Structures are given as structure tokens and as C-alpha cells.
Amino acid sequence: MTKEDTLVTENTRNTYTLEQAQNLTRDEVRGNYKQYVNPGIVQMLSMLDFDKQYVKAQDISVWDSEGNEYIDFLGGYGSLNVGHNHPRVLEAVKSSMEKPNLLQASMGTLAAALAHNLAQILPGDLEKTFFCNSGAEAVEGALKLARAASDKDKIIYCAHSFHGKSMGALSVTGRSKYQTAFAPLLPGCDYVPFGDLALLEKEMQRGDVAAFIFEPIQGEGGVILPPTGYIQGVRELCDKYGALMIADEIQTGFGRTGHMFACEGEKVVPDIICLAKSLGGGVMPMGAYVTKTEIWEKAYGGMEKATMHTSTFGGNTLACAAGIETIQVIMEEDLVERARERGHYLLTRLNLLKDKYPIIADVRGKGLLVGLEFKKLEGGLMNKLTGGMMTKLSQEYLGALVAGELQNKYGIITAYTLNNPNVIRLEPPLTVGEAHIDQVIDALEDIFSKKQSFTSMALSSGKTVLGSFFKK
């Protein structure tokens, strides 16, 4: 045996087989994640006992390694519109496994079919699809398309928006926390307030705007809805000043808001639409952008430009199989209408809670994309004893603490929104039933009816943010 053979043997001796990996304990997962992945994530999740090991999932339910069942009201940030492991989506992937998955010197059969299906369900004349692997990649492609299809280079985006964390997508994501360390970002990107048509027009009047990118509802901004007529107003301004309208429907698409796509609520057809998350049925990673033929032709028409923007895994067979079946499930199970009905029920019950408990500052949303915002708490003896830390924690972690109570005491998974940590999102699979919604409402009622203060939530179990603060 050569020295090189010995090194290979020694280096592979401690690797896990798949069977061994599937049987790792919670502590082993935590240790490996801390050493080999992201120690900060381990610390953050551990503080609220969010570092559970989930071992099984079906529809709206997941189970941890200790046999506890939870209902998922986070829904993969909108990736699980048809629920966890929908049997039809799993079967679609399995039935396609003997077909070539990656064969670039060809045209994918299922990619062609999925692109056709998307053109049928999208509004207007959106029909040219580029497949990729994630929402951020879809945004990257849309930004490149907008610049390539015009003689302009400026991109306008919205404050508090979230479009992804790759370099181009980050350049149009409206929170400095995620941008500062990576500056300088993509040049020519400026922001305006979300919902403000007057300031958007002021930016467009200069005549140098290639595109305006926006979310029909700002998910990570705290589930912020625009004023009625805003999306239609954006369409009119883009037409007036020759800018392309890019709708980021990565989170709002595929029935989430009670429309197949949120822009349909104002009968608007964007020039480019970004899709991902539930396009893969919660089973396969998948993204896409879809545009109009004339825009595609300007950017990538003809053989010379046909390969200017490509993706190795984009449109692979297994992902497209999942996408085709996901769309069929959404239509055949009438999940768009179900999202509208269940969303109305959820919002109605949450607003009744808001009327009873002052800690709830606002309830807002559309369909099954709902945000619950809490008032920032200030003052008190505990705040003085901690040198103002109590106020800081209430401003930055109150949503997380409520999410922690819901998960650890009531078996309900939620999370706060990235750009507004005082908002928890309620974004369950569209298959959710009224009984599940009642379970969430009852849990929130129990939390608030006990007049449980922020302090007691923070101190409970010694695993919370404030408990960690005292241990330092």
C-alpha cells in the first residue's frame, strides 16, 4: 500500500455511512454542527431550545427524536405550501429517478413540460422560463435579464425588502445589517420606501431605471402589505418611464395569499416574476424566473446570446418532476381557495386576541401569510437592574421569546421575521385545518391570559436569551 493509499484510508476511516448519519443523536448533531458548520447558529438556536432534532415529517406535523409532535406554522418560510413530504410529490420524484437527471447536451423533457405548465398558470404573457435552484438565484437572473434587455443599469428596490443574500440579490435587499460587511455591493442600486408611489416616480423620472424589484407583500419586513392600488400604480409607473417591473413572488406565489400569484389580486402582470420555495413542493430545491418573450429576445435571443446565463442544476429532471406534481396538487386540492378561507379564519381569530391583549400591536396579512407584531416593552425594575438590557432584549427578541413559548410549551413551530424581530410569522402549509388554527389561538390565549410578563418568559427554563445573559 502506498503512502497516498494509506492517507485515503485514514481520511475515510471516520466518515459516516448514510445509515450512521441517519442515526446520529441530538448531541452528536449539535457537536458536528458546532465544529463543522456554524457555531453561531448552534448558540442562537440553543438559547431558546430551538435546537431540537426532528426525525419525521408529514403534512403539517413534525416529530422530534423524543417522540414529541409539533404542528408547523412556519412552513419552510413558504416552501411547504403542499405540506411536508406530500406523497404525490415524493412519488413523482421516485418515478423519474431512472431518467437522466443532468444531461446538459440536450433539452430536458420535464423542464419543457414544467415551463409549459408555468406559462398556463401565470398571468398574462409571461412564458419564457429560466430554471435555477433557489430564490436568490432567481433574483440574480432577473436582475441580469433586466440590464441585458435594456440600455439602462439602475435598479430600484424597497426599504426593508428581502430578496436573498447572494451578491446581486443582497444589493437589492433593504437591510444594512446584511449588506455592510460585503460592501461595495452591486453599483446602481437605490431604495425607496415600500408603498410610496410618489418617491418611486421621483426616482424613475431621471430616465435611467432598468427595473424596479419588489415583493407584493414584504415577508421578512414583518409581513407588510402595501396600500390598495400600489401594485397597479407600480405597473403604471414602469410603463410610463420604460422600466421593467420585477415581482418577487418567491414567498407569495403558488396560492399562499389566496391567489395563485399575489399580483393577480390587483390584476397586474409584471414583466419578470421570480419563483422558488414551494415550486419544488418542499422536496426539491428549485427556483425560476419567468418573463415575456420580447424581453427574453432582447437579452438572450439567438444562438450568440443563448448561453450567456446558465445553471448546471437548473431544470434538472427530479426537481422538475416535483414542480409538475406540486402544481397539480395545488390545483386539484383547491389549495388557493383553501388559503383564502383559512387565512380569513386565522386573521379573524387573531384580531379578537388583539382586542383583548395590549401586548399585540398589530395583526396583518393575506391568505396564509400572517404577521403578529408585539409592542416593544420598556422600563421597569428589571430593566434598571440589567442596565437597559431588558429594553434591548424586548426590542430584539420578544418575537423569538413568544415563538419559544409556542414551540417548547405548546408544540407549535413559528419564527420571527428577519427584518422585524418583533413580528412572528404564521405561515403554515395551505393544507392546514381550522382545528390547527384553533390550537395556535388557544396557545396564544393561554400565554397572554396568564399575564405572563416579558421577564418571566425570558427567565423560563434558563434556556432563553435573558437566562443566557445572566450566565455570562
Burial status of residue 429 (CB atoms within 10 A of its CB: 0-12, 13-18, 19 or more): buried
Q: Which amino acid is at 450?
A: K
pLDDT for position 393 = 57
Please report which helix (H) or strand (E) contains residue 14, including its range: none
- pTM over cut 0.85: yes
Per-position DSSP letters for 316-349, written without gaps between them: -HHHHHHHHHHHHHHHHTTHHHHHHHHHHHHHHH
Residues in a beta bridge with 247 = 214, 273
pLDDT for position 472 = 35
CATH entry, 6-84+335-471, from 3.30.70.520, 3.40.50.300, 3.90.1150.10, 3.10.105.10 = 3.90.1150.10
Show the cell assigned to 418. Answer: 428577519
pLDDT for position 471 = 40
- Antiparallel, parallel or unpaired: β 420-426 and 244-248: unpaired
Task: Yes or no: say if 399 and 423 are a contact pair by the CB < 8 Å rule.
Answer: yes
CATH entry, 87-332, from 1.10.1060.10, 3.90.79.10, 3.40.50.300, 3.40.640.10 = 3.40.640.10
| Residue appearing with cell numbers 423519474 | 96
Residues in a beta bridge with 84 = 59
Domain segments of the chain as ranges:
6-84+335-471, 87-332
Radius of gyration of the chain, Cα coordinates, nearest whole angstrom: 23
Residue by residue, pLDDT tens for the chain (472 residues) are 565 555 555 555 789 999 999 999 999 999 999 999 999 888 888 877 888 999 999 999 999 999 999 999 999 999 999 999 999 999 999 999 999 888 878 889 999 999 999 999 999 999 999 999 999 999 999 999 999 999 899 999 999 999 999 999 999 999 999 999 999 999 999 999 999 999 999 999 999 999 999 999 999 999 999 999 999 999 999 999 999 999 999 999 999 999 999 999 999 999 999 999 999 999 999 999 999 999 999 999 999 999 999 999 999 999 999 999 999 999 999 999 999 999 999 999 999 999 999 989 999 999 999 999 998 765 554 445 444 555 555 556 678 888 989 999 999 999 888 778 889 999 999 999 999 999 999 999 999 887 555 555 555 543 444 444 444 3
